[in-house]
A and B are shown apart, each in its own frame.
Chain A
Amino acid sequence: MVRAKDARPQSATSKLHRQMYRDMLVSRELSDRMFALNRQGRAAFAVTGQGHEATQVGSAHAIKRGTDWVLPYYRDVGVMIALGMSPHDILLGLFAKAGDPNSGGRQMPCHWSWPEMRVVTRSSVIAANLPHASGIAYASKLRGLKEVSIVYFGEGATSEGDFHEAVNFAAIHKLPVVFFCENNGYAISESSEKQMSVLHVADRAKGYNIVGQTVDGNDILTVHQTTKWSIEECRRGRGPKLIEAKTYRFSPHTSSDDDRRYRTRAELEEWVKRDPIDRFRTRLIDEGELTAEEDAEMRAQIKREINEAVEAAERAPDPEPADALRFVYGDETAP
């Protein structure tokens, strides 16, 4: 536990900010490590969220953990860290180990599933879980529960029919769903103008008569505020919200992608200069909520933690072949 040198009392807000900052650092470090492990041949596949930290961590901290329903997509390592999933657990998924809490090694890494925290399992099919969010929200409303669903996706997903069907349904019934789009300008190699004729994803909201907001996805506090407001509005029964957070991904789409084929290094460098972590750190230090030494200490500790997690996860047992036949049905009818 890091202690402030000048023993200033920590306000709740500061605590929150430091936690958010920490989550960003963990998310970044973990993302870098997962990618490296793939490049070292120790992990078959990696999909990470470098550059998205402000968007993911900022929004996730607005969620009422364990009450609200969360439907993150594969890039949302920051969301999962913010919700409390440990790097060790995430790495068990990277190495497809039996103890992987998301899928027992059955799905690709970062295909999140955490029933206790109401993180809903999803497939690799883009946008297929948006109708699930609407359905969950319908049930919340029918049962009179004050819970909100938040579903995350990239801007490419907004081209899928399921996006439109899900938003339409939620809008018709004024359901408590926050549709959160992390618009990083690329769907694998395709830049946005190939994906949509509107300039902003949030513009689509008008077509469904709901509120759409565009925010600077690299400004963590704005993201946080916007998400918080949206969630609370949903909780008050004011209908679904569409949030578009503009951000940028530093990594390729996944470890199978070569991003040099569709964007220039110059463009990447431009965005790296606007790294949301650096931006938040600067702000925290400026505001006196963090010192440079604390920052260094935090980073070193995180590195150690993740090193240990990698080591432990890599050594963890693999699933048994017979396990592959289980859980086709709930009553374990043999396949």
Chain B
Amino acid sequence: MTSKTYIEAIREGLLEEMDRLDTMIVLGEDIQEGGVFRVTDGMLQKYGPQRVLDTPLAESSIVGVSIGMAINGCVPVAEIQFADFAYPAFNQIISEAAKWRYRSNNGWGCPIVVRAPYGAGIRGAMYHSQSIEALLAHVPGLKVVAPSTPADAKGLIKAAIRDPDPVIYFEHKKAYRMVKGEVPDEDFATSIGSAALRREGDDITVISYGLMAHECLQAAEQLADEGAVDATVLDLRTLAPLDRDAILDAAKRTGKVLIVHEDNLTGGIGAEVSAMISEHAFDYLDAPVRRLASPDVPAMPFNGALEDALLPSRETIAAAMRDLAAY
């Protein structure tokens, strides 16, 4: 085990797979100089410009050519510079990649990976802070992951690269350098579709993912220290397909569920998790399933105080946890 930052873990995962697969290609804008966040730092020097490819500023074809590469024996890992800019590529992701296997009746698979930094809290304003995972998790045929820890970041990028289906990999940009954690030294991949139980407790259950999973865990530890609330904390890790067994087990354990995500409330991942729990664990519920999310505003404002007010914080999470425990 070695302590690494989130970004180091992702980079390492990419490097190890580049070494293992000589037809793996990373492509996107500014990839060669290391990428605007430096995820692909050093890769051009190691693997050359054919496998570390700077694309034109054209998101649709970044994904479109990845699809072509994937079906002709390469392993493409495309990067969309910010999730906020992924929309022109949605046609390729949703109409093409997601439906590739289904429409060909299993004649072909489409094993692409699309990475995108997402998330708020860095004063990125409206077009560098969005969370778009709910839009894509809704599409059958795609797998969508959002790791919160460095170990999961490395494990999931490897799993994504090895997966026979299109995987959308969301990296929280604030976590890059802020989150550090222990990462196994040996080769490993983290199962796509499996959630991680971060903490066990009998009072309430908190379900989250991404950077918010950290805030939830820390709020839970703080409340446990105070003797106020003893919470189970579940980190989803994969948003599609959801780990239904883990979600229901965690919900049934306490009967009180709080779902926390940074993405806005309506139609977010929390809505699906909540519906799942209501449908399949109704008899175990001791309180209505609650969600704590950003309000339904089009995107995060640039003004820092406004952004802070809109995002869930450790304080609002703790307050919501207390409230639910008292119900």
Contact = CB atoms under 8 A, between A and B. Distances in A.
Bind each other: yes
Interface stretch (B13-21, B57-65, B259-267, B271-279): B57-65
Contact of B68 (A104, A131, A326): A131
B96 interface: yes
Interface of B: 23, 25, 50-51, 55-56, 58, 60-61, 63-74, 76, 88, 91-92, 95-96, 99-109, 140-141, 143, 163-165, 193, 241
- Which of B66, B68, B96 is the most central at the interface, judged by chain A CB atoms within 10 Å of its CB? B68
Given A113-B104, A162-B91, A331-B164, 14 more contacts: A102-B104, A129-B96, A135-B66, A135-B69, A136-B71, A138-B74, A139-B72, A139-B73, A143-B72, A143-B73, A143-B74, A165-B64, A168-B58, A329-B141
A101 B51 CA distance: 34
Contacts of B56: 165, 168-169, 172
Contacts of A135: 64-70, 72, 76
Contacts of A335: 140
A137 interface: yes
A129 to B, nearest CB: 8
Contact of A142 (B50, B91, B103, B109): B50
A139 B140 CA distance: 27
Contacts, number: 150
A165 B62 CA distance: 9
Interface of A: 69, 100-104, 106-107, 111, 113-115, 120-121, 123, 125, 128-140, 142-143, 149, 161-162, 165-166, 168-169, 172, 326-331, 333, 335
B296 to A, nearest CB: 28
A327 B61 contact: no
Contact of B104 (A103, A125, A132, A172): A103
Contacts of B63: 131
What are the 6 closest A-B residue pairs judged by CB atoms, nearest first?
A135-B68, A131-B64, A104-B105, A135-B65, A165-B61, A330-B164
A172 B102 CA distance: 33
B323 to A, nearest CB: 36
A140 B95 contact: no
A130 B140 contact: no
B27 to A, nearest CB: 9
Contact of A143 (B23, B106, B143): B23
B105 A138 contact: no
B165 A139 contact: no
A169 B103 contact: no
A132 B51 contact: no
9 contacts: A100-B105, A103-B104, A132-B67, A134-B65, A135-B70, A136-B71, A142-B51, A162-B60, A169-B56
B71 A120 contact: yes
A128 B69 contact: no
B101 A132 contact: no
Contacts of A165: 56, 58, 60-61, 64
A139 B91 contact: no
A162 B56 CA distance: 12
B74 A106 contact: no
Contacts of A120: 71, 108
Given A143-B73, A165-B64, A169-B56, A128 B105 contact: no
Contact of A106 (B25, B103, B140): B103
A130 B64 contact: yes
B38 to A, nearest CB: 25
A132 B104 CA distance: 15
Nearest to A166: B61
Given A106-B102, A106-B103, A169-B55, A128 B164 contact: no
A123 B165 contact: no
Contacts of B164: 329-331
Nearest to A120: B71
